[in-house]
Structure 1
Amino acid sequence: MSAIDEADQSRVHVYRLLARLLREPPDAPLLAILSQMTADDSELGRAISDLAHSAAVTDLAASRDEYNVLFIGLGRGVLTPFGSYYLTGFLHEKPLARLRNDMRPLGIARSDDVKDPEDHVAALMEMMAGLIDGSFGAVQPGSAQRAFFDAHIASWTPHFFKDLESCASAGFYKPVGRIGRLFMAIEQEAFEM
């Protein structure tokens, strides 16, 4: 894995934070770590501070219950965190097939222990982190990162994160939605420069 600069390392951290929080409910050690986060006074920094405060006042059972209501539910959660669903209204559609085709040449493969389709928002956040830091074999150039972002993330995750931020069932996860919404806008703007 090649060394990356500080700005790219910060991007990796945000992508991995989003991936971890959206993959499964936080455990006690993660809530403790999150509650200690500090940030600057930028809009994204204030969202990170809000997440730290939320982690400090949320108990483990409440965060687990909220995750289940939002993303699992009895039949399905309040939100369906899959690209195919956001883009077509159905799971396992053409956006998932296109993603799988684009993953192969980048050295990205679905883990055998993962049950969700690859277009889950957490998986996509993890894939972007890997493209930036070389987790899949090589640090990908900005052009490859942008192509992947444009094809599989920019088209729907801003809507997903906005929905999460404004969801009546969200408490702990509201600042996660805000961080995601703001970060996706920052990434989009940076890729367009």
Structure 2
Amino acid sequence: MEMINLTPALQEHDQLRADIYALLGNLLRSAPSAETLEWLSTLTPDNDDSGSMADAWSALALTANYATEASIADEYQDLFIGVGRGELMPFGCWYLTGSLMEKPLVQLRNDLTQLGYVRQPDVYEPEDHIAALCEVMSLMILNHHGYSQQHTFWQRHIAPWARKFFSDLQHAKRAVFYSPIGLLGEHFVQKEADYFQQLSPAELTTVSASHNKNSG
């Protein structure tokens, strides 16, 4: 006998949102592999992409086509790690308070606990790393958390600072491959803001039934 899958399929738009969050999380978590670079070089904008998003996809594909795994590894090191610290600090607390490990991280950890997400034992960065936040948003969409929970998490932990971070990434002195990633991230954050704004009040106050069942 076959097991019947009662989990509703994601709408195409939500699957795309989850995929973009996952891609950003992957690229910001560590330097991409040669296989990832090869895949990125084949990307083409969708027909329904706005001009800004289409430009970002095209720029990312072009840059990936000419980049090397070694050069991007060096770039990632300079941007985010450095000696002591990198050119950029990809942490929410840093952008919101000017310091690390401050009150916004406490709120984030509380919210992650409520959502049922825990940091993996092989991850050492604080949970307010931009890659981690993108990964959480992707998981929330894939796990059918309702728009209400997605919007609340996004408003608390991404909206207040992510666009500024992605803008800084575009214009960082050491950014070459990561500059179009900053462009993609900035426009995607704005696209998410527009998307949440156009949802009805009912959609923004309804919690996913499947999540209610899993968290009970």
* TM-score, with structure 2 as normaliser: 0.85
Which residue number in structure 1 is paired with residue 63 of structure 2?
54
**Which of 172, 178, 182 lines up with 2:177 in the alignment?**
172
Question: Residues 153-192 of structure 1: matches in 2 within 5 Å?
Answer: 153-192=158-197
- 1:30 to 2:32 alignment: no
For residues 34-68 of structure 1, give each alpha carbon's deviation from its aligned partner in whole angstroms, at most 9, with x where no partner exists. Answer: 01111146320221111011000011111111000
The CA deviation string for residues 67-86 of structure 1, in whole angstroms up to 9 with x for no partner, is: 00000001100000000111
Q: Which runs of 5+ in 1 are unaligned?
A: none
Q: Deviations over 1:115-150 (max 9, x none)?
A: 00000000000000011110xxxx111111000000
User: Per the alignment, do residues 74 and 2 of structure 1 end up closer, same or farther by CA in structure 2, a change over 3 Å counting?
Assistant: farther
For 1:116, the equivalent position in structure 2 comes to 125
Shift, 1:151, TM fit = 0.3
Q: Structure 1 residue 168: deviation in Å? A: 1.7
After TM superposition, list the pairs within 5 Å mapping 1:1-193 onto structure 2.
Answer: 2-40=8-46, 42-134=51-143, 139-193=144-198
Deviation at 1:183, TM superposition (A): 0.2
Percent identical:
46
Q: What TM-score results when the alignment is normalised by the length of structure 1?
A: 0.95
CA distance, structure 1, for counterparts of residue 77 and residue 179 of structure 2: 15
Alignment RMSD (CA, Å) = 1.0
Q: Kindly indicate whether the alpha-carbon contact (under 8 Å) linking 1:2 and 1:133 is maintained by their aligned counterparts in 2.
A: no
Question: Number of matched residues?
Answer: 189
SS of the residue 1:65 aligns to: helix
